[in-house]
Amino acid sequence: MSAVTQTVTTAHPGVVLRPAVRADVALILALIRELAEYEREPDAVLATEALLEAQLFGAQPAAEVMIAEADGQPAGFALFFHNFSTWQGRRGLYLEDLFVRPQFRGRGVGHALIAYLARLAVQRDCARFEWSVLDWNAPAIGFYRRIGAVGMDGWTVQRIDGEALRRLAASSADAADRPESD
């Protein structure tokens, strides 16, 4: 499921992109942890190298990762996957995480990553390219507005996880296991 097989040059001096490979798992996890620190959730990361390796490079990859390098140094990453629009009848591209290390911000690294993903979405005939952003992250929101992204007013992200997810799943199994009444 690799997005590309070679390095992608960008319009930003010294910035190149490349698809992540199995050997990048430790780097990807480090970048995820740095993102969690930035998003004020340092203890929320449960991912391990083994989980990432299986999910990103196993038999059925769940997502793809592009690594950005600036002057040969790892500068950031974008992790993305396909979703599907029933109304459009076509798949979309969903950006789960975009992170640029602080020392590389302002050099076009984030723009290079997001512009590449937009190009990839067009190449893959995606109906849309979307992502979520924390409402307090004014620098990111400002960046997204400058590149033409529009906030989806009226939509609220919903999530169920942990014990609530297990209870809900069990309620389905319980119903399936009960005999039908006459």
CA distances (Å), origin 77, targets 131, 165, 175 = 14, 29, 43
Catalytic residue annotation: 144
Per DSSP, helices labelled H in 1-147 are 25-38, 49-57, 109-123, 138-146
Tokens coding 49: 């190298």
Tokens coding 53: 């390796």
CA angle 149, 153, 154 (to 5 degrees): 145
Q: Residue 17: enclosing H or E segment and its boundaries?
A: strand 15-19
